[in-house]
Chain A
C-alpha cells in the first residue's frame, strides 16, 4: 500500500501561470516533507521542504503548503517557466525512522 501518492501523472501549464502539484499521504507519523525535481538522465534535485510544525514554506517561486488534517501537501510554482518542465517527486519521513517514502512523481510540462 502506497503511503505517499501523487495521483496526477502529468500536468501541463502555460508559461507565466501557476503550477500546482499535489501529494497525499496516509501515515500520520510523517513529520517532514520534501519536494524533488528530476530532469531526464539526472538524479533528483532537492527543491524545498517543510516540517509538520509549519503549514507553509516559501523559497522564491516555490511554495509548499501542508494540510495535516487532510494529509495533503502541494507545491506551487509561480510564475511557471519552461525550465521548470521536469518530473516532481514528493517524499515524506518520520522522526522515528528517517526513511523517506517517495511518491511516483508528476511530470510537469510548461508550455512557452
Chain B
C-alpha cells in the first residue's frame, strides 16, 4: 500500500455527534497537513504538523481538534460541528514542511445535518 489514505471516504453526522477523520501516509514523510475544500472555494490550509509537532493552526475553530501520534498518522477530531463545516477534508504529506510538493489523499466528504 502506498500514498496517502483517508478514512472514511464519506461521513454524515449530526451537529451534536463526535467523530474522527483518519489519515495515514506510507511515503516516509515527516510533514502532514489538513485542508478544507468547500464548494466553489479554494483549498484552505487548516493545520500543519512537522515531525509530529503542530507548526500551524490557521485560525481553525476549536470544534476541530487535530492529533498526530506519529509521522505516519494524522487525525482530525470533530465535535459539535455546524452545517457550514460540510466540505471535503483533504489530508496531505510532504518530506518536510518546506517548498516541496505535497501528496494528497482522496479526502473525506463530510456532511453535517
Q: Which residues of A approach B to under 8 Å, CB–CB?
A: 2, 4, 31-32, 34, 36, 41-46, 49, 51, 89, 91, 93, 95, 98-105
Contacts and interface: CB of A to CB of B under 8 A. Distances in A.
A45 B4 CA distance: 11
Nearest to A101: B42
A102 B105 contact: no
A36 B41 CA distance: 16
Contacts of B106: 41-43
Interface in B74-104: 90, 92, 97-99, 101-104
Contacts of A93: 99
B66 interface: no
Nearest to A94: B99
Nearest to A43: B104
B13 interface: no
Given A43-B90, A98-B98, A2 B103 contact: no
A99 B90 contact: no
Nearest to B41: A104
Contacts of A2: 42
A32 B105 contact: no
Range class of the B interface residue count: 20 to 34
A42 B108 CA distance: 10
B98 A45 contact: no
26 contacts: A31-B99, A32-B99, A34-B101, A36-B104, A42-B106, A43-B4, A43-B90, A43-B92, A43-B106, A46-B101, A51-B99, A89-B42, A89-B43, A91-B43, A93-B99, A95-B98, A98-B97, A99-B45, A99-B48, A99-B58, A101-B42, A102-B42, A102-B43, A103-B42, A104-B40, A104-B41
Contacts of A45: 104
Contacts of A103: 42
B78 to A, nearest CB: 19
Contacts of B58: 99
A99 B35 CA distance: 11
